[in-house]
Amino acid sequence: MAGLEGTECRTRGCTGADGITVLTDLQIARYSRQIILPSVGGRGQQQLLSAAVAVAGRPEMARVAAVYLAAAGVGQLFLIGEDRAVCNDLETLNPDSHVRGVGWPLTDEAVDEIVRQSSAVVCADASPATVARLGTRCLAVERPVLIGRVTGAVGEVALVGGGQREGPCFECFSQTIAAIRAEGADAPRAHNAETAIDVVLSGVIGGFIGTIIATEVIKLTLNLNSTLAGRRLTYGALSGWMSVDDIMPMPNCPVCGSREIGGTGTGADAP
């Protein structure tokens, strides 16, 4: 497929009849600290090794998310816009993770293939155009999207899409945040006037948001009910506050507004 490097699949363990990776003795030893957790266990580690996640966006957030996903044992990572050296570093960190660099700019074929093969897609401070391209395709095939952003000294992450037919999409999130900021509702907390310290902190905050994104992907993979689905987590670094707010679906959303709320529509026909 055009745009993807190393198309061969290099599964490190055996695959059972249900498509879930069977743990080897070496993997049991490697992930022992995770396997003993009640929320993970052997089955959960198998699910992580069988998962595939696509990551796009700014390096300070995207690479941190990728590092923690690889360390947790996510079996396949698609790093959009990254070079082979970064992929090799992650595979050195954890040889169980098959890391593939995806060429830039993205072709339509690459977008379709990446989303089809991924169980979740991460937009780590990615451009609005990239979020729209990946998010639209994810909506059509019901893949969850993790969106991370940093504005000044404030970071935020939201989880949209997936099987949430009644939930918000990526455009609902973007428009909701735009409306909140236009009304000034976030002004006391968001510290909108960017200062020199905001610029210094932006990389650190991006890394922090990257760890939250990785955590949410792991929780999704383990089918835990405590994810940020349909919600926005916001972190203000200067004052140390953190909040979680609901994101309501927009009835007139140009992307998902045509979905039959509560029905069987999937958003595949949305523009």
Q: Is the pTM of this model over 0.85?
A: no
How many angstroms separate the CA atoms of 246 and 228, rounded? 9
Q: What is the pLDDT of residue 4?
A: 41
Going from the N-terminus, what domains does the chain have, and what CATH number goes with each?
38-246 (3.40.50.720)
Structure tokens at 89: 């570093």
Q: Tens digit of pLDDT per residue, the chain (271 long)?
A: 434 433 233 334 555 545 567 899 999 999 999 999 999 999 999 999 999 999 999 999 999 999 999 999 999 999 998 888 999 999 999 999 999 999 888 889 999 999 999 999 999 999 999 999 999 999 999 999 999 999 888 999 999 987 666 689 999 988 888 877 777 655 444 444 556 666 678 889 999 999 999 999 999 999 998 889 999 999 998 888 999 999 988 888 888 875 543 333 333 332 2
Q: Would you give the distance in Å from CA 68 to the centre of its chain?
A: 12
